[in-house]
Structure 1
Amino acid sequence: MSNKIDESYRIALSHISVAAYDGDSFKKRMELRNKLKTLTFDGCDAFLSAVRTQGGFFMITEDVSKNGANSRRRQLLRVGGGMFGIPFFGSSSENSDAQAATPPKQKGQTGPTNEIVKIVNGMKRRRLGGSDIFVSELGLGTQRWVSTDFNAPDKDLCFQFMDEAILKRGVNLIDTAEQYPIPSDGKRASEGDTERVIGDWMKDRKVPRSDVVISTKITGGRNVTPRNIQKDCEDSLKRLRTDYIDVYLLHWPQRYSPQSNWGQSLKYNLAYDTQSRKLLGDPTSFEDLCLAMEKLVQQGKIRGWGLCNDNAYGLTACSRTAKMLGTTPPCTMQGDFSILDRKSEENGVAEAASPFWENTGFMAYNALAGGMLTGKYLEIPAALDDPDRTRAMATQARPRGRMDERGWGGTLYRYRSEPAQEAILEYNKLAKANKMSLTELSLRWCKQRELITTTLLGHTSMDQLKESLDFLTRKEDLSPELMWEIDRIHMRNRLPIFSSYHVGKDWYGEGEIGEPIP
Structure 2
Amino acid sequence: MLERNLARAPQIVVGPRSRATCRPFVCRAAAATEIPTLAAAKRKKLGDSELLVSQCCLGTMTWGVQNTEADAHTQLSYAINDSGVNFIDTAEIYPVPPSAETQGKTDQYISSWLKDQPRDKVILATKVAGFGNKYLRKNGEQTRITAEQVEESVEGSLSRLKTDYIDLLQVHWPDRYVPLFGAAAYDPANEREDVSFEEQLRALEKVVKAGKVRYIGVSNETSYGVMRFAQLAEQMGLPKIVSIQNSYSLLVRSGFETDLAEVCAPRQTNVGLLAYSPLAGGSLSGKYIDGPAEGSRFTIFPGYMERYTKSLAKQAVGMYAEVAKKHGLTPTQLALAWCKSRWQVTSTIIGATSLEQLKENIGSFDIDLSEEAVKDIDRVYKQFRDPTTKPLDD
Which residues in structure 2 correspond to 1:128-167 (within 5 Å)?
A: 128-147=46-65, 152-167=66-81
Select which of 230, 233, 240 maps to 1:319.
Answer: 230
Distance 1:214 1:346 in 2: 27
Distance 1:154 1:218 in 2: 23
Aligned equivalent of 1:210: 120
CA contact (8 A) 2:144 2:195 kept: no
Q: Which runs of 5+ in 1 are unaligned?
A: 1-107, 110-116, 383-394, 504-518
Matched, 1:482 2:373: yes
Aligned equivalent of 1:298: 209
Which residues in structure 2 correspond to 1:221-240 (within 5 Å)?
A: 221=131, 222-240=143-161
CA contact (8 A) 1:118 1:124 kept: no
Higher relative contact order (CA 8 A, sep 6+): 2
Distance 2:267 2:95 in 1: 37
Which residues in structure 2 correspond to 1:254-403 (within 5 Å)?
A: 254-259=175-180, 262-266=181-185, 268-273=186-191, 277=192, 282-379=193-290, 381-382=291-292, 399-403=294-298
Aligned equivalent of 2:11: none
Q: How far is the alpha carbon of 1:227 from its aligned partner?
A: 1.0
Distance 2:68 2:320 in 1: 33
TM-score under structure 2 length normalisation? 0.85
- Structure with bigger helix share is 1
Select which of 438, 441, 451 maps to 2:344.
Answer: 451
Identity of aligned residues (%): 36
Deviation by residue 1:55-78 (Cα, 9 ceiling, x = unmatched): xxxxxxxxxxxxxxxxxxxxxxxx
Aligned equivalent of 1:413: 306
Q: How far is the alpha carbon of 1:271 from its aligned partner?
A: 2.0
Q: How far is the alpha carbon of 1:412 from its aligned partner?
A: 1.1
Secondary structure of 2:150's counterpart equals: helix
Aligned equivalent of 2:23: none
Aligned equivalent of 1:121: 37
Aligned equivalent of 2:382: 491
CA contact (8 A) 1:118 1:126 kept: no
TM-score under structure 1 length normalisation? 0.65
CA contact (8 A) 1:310 1:335 kept: yes
The total of aligned residue pairs comes to 351
Distance 1:346 1:465 in 2: 27
Deviation by residue 1:25-79 (Cα, 9 ceiling, x = unmatched): xxxxxxxxxxxxxxxxxxxxxxxxxxxxxxxxxxxxxxxxxxxxxxxxxxxxxxx
Q: How far is the alpha carbon of 1:186 from its aligned partner?
A: 4.6
Matched, 1:199 2:117: no
Secondary structure of 2:245's counterpart equals: strand
Distance 2:271 2:289 in 1: 36
CA contact (8 A) 1:362 1:453 kept: yes
Distance 1:284 1:246 in 2: 24
Q: How far is the alpha carbon of 1:500 from its aligned partner?
A: 2.1
Select which of 313, 327, 330 maps to 1:434.
Answer: 327
CA contact (8 A) 1:369 1:415 kept: yes
Give the letter aligned to residue 162 of structure 1: L
CA contact (8 A) 2:312 2:392 kept: no
Greater Rg, structure 1 or structure 2? 1
Q: Which moved more, 1:409-418 or 1:326-335?
A: 409-418
1:332/1:119 CA distance change after superposition, 3 Å: farther
1:118/1:208 CA distance change after superposition, 3 Å: closer
Which residues in structure 2 correspond to 1:2-17 (within 5 Å)?
A: none
Matched, 1:183 2:97: yes
Secondary structure of 1:167's counterpart equals: helix
CA contact (8 A) 1:363 1:456 kept: yes
CA contact (8 A) 2:61 2:351 kept: yes
